[in-house]
């Protein structure tokens, strides 16, 4: 099912800033499908100011050197495929425009949306002074020729020769959708820790852990923590929450309008759900939270996203839902709408994600035997538990999003190794560490990771070395993302145990001196 775009959203089909004069004569601009997969079935006319340009004077650039006359676009076998994300440049046989603002109107049609009329304003600006541009190919930007051109450009621009940057062992075409202007690779060392014994609901058994890092002692420290956990029966891991968000905002003229809108959304969830889920066979809308402030209604859409992290997936799904909302809400006028209000806190640590979950909410816990802790870590359960209380005060005073030691270290190293979106460490590093001395005199230790954003499908998970590292963990294939989340949580707990003990026993500095100095 394809959603119906509201007039407010139709403006997004035009690429602002794309209006420009052609070198000799004529004018051009770009449109980009930011709505849903459709076919362009007609292009009637364009109007700039008072000048109407009919279809006979319009051509559409399809890429790869192919242009199509607007009069040759129709639904009878001459439609143009226009999937989400595709851009088309439109060429107009009309006199050049003067610098300044110009109203632009476009009339065209698609198989899904029917006849569309888009009205925007754009500007013609003077030519900027020439600056060198990174080479790229319209035909195949991942070809050997295109990559070699960028490598030469980088060497000429910097005056340096690059030997290692240019070496890689995979077909660059697999990077489409992962990296633009591909020029080479950054080789990051991968060390192995473990195996780690995980007693999860999805991850069960021993796992060899690939960790990509340039920080000395990191792999050794995590490996030490894993050995201790293994000697005590392993680490118990549980996924207790799973949701990915997009948080649009609707702006009204006053607070009452926002309040009434929030009530309507709550009452209309069963009508909104199929609209959101129409864009994906995977994304499922769980619930919508409404937060009101001033004259703003912030909606926090919560989805399950299968094995994908899902930020893009839920963005598209929420866009479809909001388009239906804008079209069907009959209350106070929506003055403005933004698909993301900064309330989902994408790529940022936040308290709402600690409280409400973003990605996977995972708990890793273990009971560490007193004798193992003393023999292997040179600390007692009482020392570590007391040290944890002191650290809690420090974390509270500093306003940190984590009262533990360094969960970001293990998470980042695993993210790089397995092709995760590394910027998600900003959210995923949040953690709540707890420890206590048991009645038997052992140490109970656990960490809750409230916003662990991971994937075993999509993004960079299918790339060469990244996919091999996921294969090492047995986390390739359908239904493996929670398994991966449990393994990551277990690794994090191993690191907390190791570094906490090192600080308590004063081994921290000496260990870095031994393993972490590159003299």
**Which tens digits make up the pLDDT trace of 354-381?**
999 999 999 999 999 999 999 999 999 9
| Cβ–Cβ under 8 Å, residues 233 and 332 | no
Active site residues: 215, 421, 512
* Bridge partners (DSSP) listed for residue 33: none
Say if residue 445 is in the same domain as residue 364: yes
| Cβ–Cβ under 8 Å, residues 265 and 331 | no
Average confidence (pLDDT) over 257-262: 97
Instruction: State pLDDT tens for residues 162-218.
Output: 999 999 999 999 998 899 999 999 999 999 998 999 999 999 999 999 999 999 899
Say if residue 400 is in the same domain as residue 379: yes
Kindly give, in sequence order, each residue whose CB lies less than 8 Å from that of residue 56, ignoring residues fewer than 6 positions away: 69, 70, 71
| Cβ–Cβ under 8 Å, residues 455 and 308 | yes
- For 20, 99, 118, 326, 458, the CA distances from 125, given in Å and listed in that order, are 8, 5, 22, 34, 39
Say if residue 152 is in the same domain as residue 299: no
Q: How confident is the model at residue 424 (pLDDT cuts 50, 70, 90)?
A: very high
Q: Is residue 134 part of a domain?
A: no
Indicate whether 519 pLDDT > 80.
no
Whole-number Å distance between alpha carbons of 483 and 239 = 9
Collapse the DSSP code of 12 into the 3-class scheme (helix H, G, I; strand E, B; otherwise coil) and give the result. helix
Say if residue 325 is in the same domain as residue 263: yes
Structural domain boundaries, residue 148: 144-170
Phi, psi of 28 (to 5 degrees): -140, 155
Residue 97: HSE in the Cβ half-sphere, 13 Å Cα cutoff: 25
DSSP secondary structure string for all residues of 149-170 = HHHHHHHHHHT---SSTT--SS
Say if residue 229 is in the same domain as residue 257: no
- Residue holding tokens 């006199």? 95
Lowest mean pLDDT among 30-39, 142-151, 370-379: 30-39
pTM value > 0.75: yes
| Cβ–Cβ under 8 Å, residues 311 and 454 | no
Say if residue 369 is in the same domain as residue 447: yes
- For 41, 228, 393, 405, 512, the CA distances from 387, given in Å and listed in that order, are 68, 19, 10, 11, 20
Average pLDDT over the chain, rounded to whole? 90
Say if residue 408 is in the same domain as residue 489: yes
CATH number for the domain that contains residue 98: 2.60.40
Say if residue 364 is in the same domain as residue 458: yes
The pLDDT, as a whole number, for residue 514 is: 55
Say if residue 160 is in the same domain as residue 89: no
Say if residue 13 is in the same domain as residue 160: no
Q: Is residue 284 part of a domain?
A: yes
Say if residue 66 is in the same domain as residue 160: no
Say if residue 257 is in the same domain as residue 217: no
The domain boundary, picked from 124, 158, 182, lies at: 124
CATH number for the domain that contains residue 505: 3.90.770.10
Q: How confident is the model at residue 507 (pLDDT cuts 50, 70, 90)?
A: low
- The H or E element containing residue 301 is strand 296-304
Instruction: State pLDDT tens for residues 113-144.
Output: 788 888 889 988 875 555 788 998 888 899 99
Count of domains for the chain: 4
């Amino acid at each position: 099912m394809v959603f119906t775009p509201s007039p407010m959203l139709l403006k997004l089909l035009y690429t602002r800033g794309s209006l420009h004069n052609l070198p000799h004569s004529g004018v051009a601009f770009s449109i980009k499908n930011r709505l849903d997969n459709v076919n362009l079935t007609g292009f009637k006319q364009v109007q700039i100011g008072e000048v109407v340009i009919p279809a006979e004077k319009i051509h559409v650039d399809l890429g790869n050197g192919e242009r199509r006359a607007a009069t040759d676009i129709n639904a009878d076998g001459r439609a143009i495929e226009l999937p989400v994300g595709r851009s088309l440049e439109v060429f107009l046989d009309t006199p050049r425009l003067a610098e300044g603002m110009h109203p632009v109107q476009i009339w065209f049609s698609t198989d899904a949306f029917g006849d569309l009329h888009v009205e925007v304003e754009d500007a013609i600006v003077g030519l900027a002074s020439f600056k060198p541009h990174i080479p790229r190919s319209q035909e195949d930007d991942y070809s050997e020729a295109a990559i070699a051109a960028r490598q030469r450009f980088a060497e000429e621009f910097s005056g340096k020769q690059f030997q290692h940057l240019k070496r890689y062992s995979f077909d660059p075409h697999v990077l489409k959708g992962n990296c633009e202007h591909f020029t080479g690779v950054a080789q990051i060392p991968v060390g192995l820790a473990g195996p780690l014994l995980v007693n999860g609901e999805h991850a069960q058994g021993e796992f060899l852990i690939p960790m990509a890092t340039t920080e000395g002692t990191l792999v050794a420290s995590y490996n030490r923590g894993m050995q201790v956990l293994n000697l005590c029966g392993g680490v118990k891991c549980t996924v207790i929450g799973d949701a990915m968000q997009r948080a649009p905002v609707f702006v009204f003229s006053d607070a009452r309008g926002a309040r009434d809108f929030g009530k309507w959304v709550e009452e209309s969830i069963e009508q909104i759900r199929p609209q959101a889920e129409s864009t994906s066979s995977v994304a499922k809308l769980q619930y919508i939270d409404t937060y009101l402030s001033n004259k703003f209604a912030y909606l926090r859409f919560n989805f399950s996203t299968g094995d994908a992290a899902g930020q893009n997936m839920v963005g598209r799904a929420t866009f479809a839902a909001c388009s239906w909302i804008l079209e069907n809400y009959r209350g106070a006028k929506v003055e403005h709408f933004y698909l993301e209000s900064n309330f989902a806190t994408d790529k940022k640590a936040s308290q709402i994600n600690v409280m409400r979950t973003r990605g996977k909410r995972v708990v890793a816990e273990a009971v560490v035997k007193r004798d193992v802790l003393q023999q292997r870590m040179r600390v007692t359960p009482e020392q570590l538990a007391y040290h944890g209380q002191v650290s809690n005060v420090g974390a509270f005073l500093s306003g940190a999003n984590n009262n533990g030691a360094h969960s970001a270290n293990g998470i980042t190293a695993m993210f790089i190794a397995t092709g995760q979106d590394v910027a998600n460490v900003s959210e995923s590093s949040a953690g709540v560490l707890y420890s206590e001395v048991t009645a038997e005199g052992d140490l109970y230790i656990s960490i809750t990771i409230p916003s662990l954003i991971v994937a075993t499908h999509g993004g960079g998970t299918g790339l060469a070395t990244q996919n091999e590292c996921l294969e090492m963990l047995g986390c390739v294939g359908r239904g493996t993302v929670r398994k991966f989340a449990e393994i990551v949580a277990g690794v994090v707990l191993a690191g907390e145990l190791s570094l906490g003990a090192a600080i308590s026993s004063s081994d921290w500095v000496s260990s870095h001196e031994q393993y972490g100095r590159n003299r």
